[in-house]
Amino acid sequence: MSTPTSKSSPTACRLLKAGETFTGKQGLQYAVGISAKSVGAQHIHMQLVTIPPGGRARAHKHATHETAIYALTGESGVWHGERLENHTIVRPGDFFYIPANVPHLPYNPSTTEPVVAVIARTDPNEQESVVLLPELDDIHPAGRVPQKLLIMERPRAET
C-alpha cells in the first residue's frame, strides 16, 4: 500500500510521467521528467530526447554541467571535441558520458528509425546551460557521414 505524498514537501518522493514535448535550443525534441520545475530538483535534470530519422542537433555544449545518456532505441552518431574532431556511435543499451563544456553534435543517420534516449544532466533547469556553437555547425553538414565512419569497427567499451 502506498501513502500519498505532499507535492509541496521538498523531502517527498515523486512519481511522474514525461511532460509534453518541446523543442530545445539544440533543435531536438525533449520530454522532461525530473527538473527544477517539475519536482523542485536542485542538482539534476532527467528527460527523454527523440532525434527523428535524418535529424540532428545544432552544435552546442552545456556550460559547467555533465551529461549522461542511455540509448533506448535507434543508433545515433555524436561528433564531439573542441572542433568536433571525435566521433562515437551510440547504440541501444549504451551509456554515453559528455563532460561539462565539451562541444557536441548528435545526429540520427537512419532514414527510417527515430533515436530515443534518456538524458540526465547536472543542471536542474536543463536549457539554461545550453551554449549554441554556430561556428561548428558546418564542420559536419547534415546528412553527411564520412564513408570511413560507416565501415569502421566499433571500439570495445571500457570496463
Does any domain span residue 8? no
Query: Sheet harboring 45-51: ordered strands across?
Result: 21-23, 29-34, 45-51, 115-121, 67-73, 95-98
Q: Rg of the Cα trace of the chain? A: 17
Q: Say whether pTM exceeds 0.95.
A: no
The domain total for the chain is 1
Does any domain span residue 54? yes
Does any domain span residue 14? no
Q: Are 28 and 6 in contact (CB under 8 A)?
A: no
Residue 31 sits in a domain whose CATH number is 2.60.120.10
Give, for all 159 residues of the chain, the pLDDT tens digit: 444 444 556 678 999 999 889 988 888 999 999 999 999 999 999 999 999 999 999 999 998 899 999 999 999 999 999 999 999 999 999 999 999 999 999 999 999 999 999 999 998 886 777 899 999 999 987 655 554 454 344 454 555
Query: Which of 5, 4, 95, 110 is closest to 50 using CA atoms?
Result: 110
What is the residue range of 95's domain?
A: 25-137
Does any domain span residue 15? no
Does any domain span residue 2? no
Does any domain span residue 20? no
Does any domain span residue 7? no
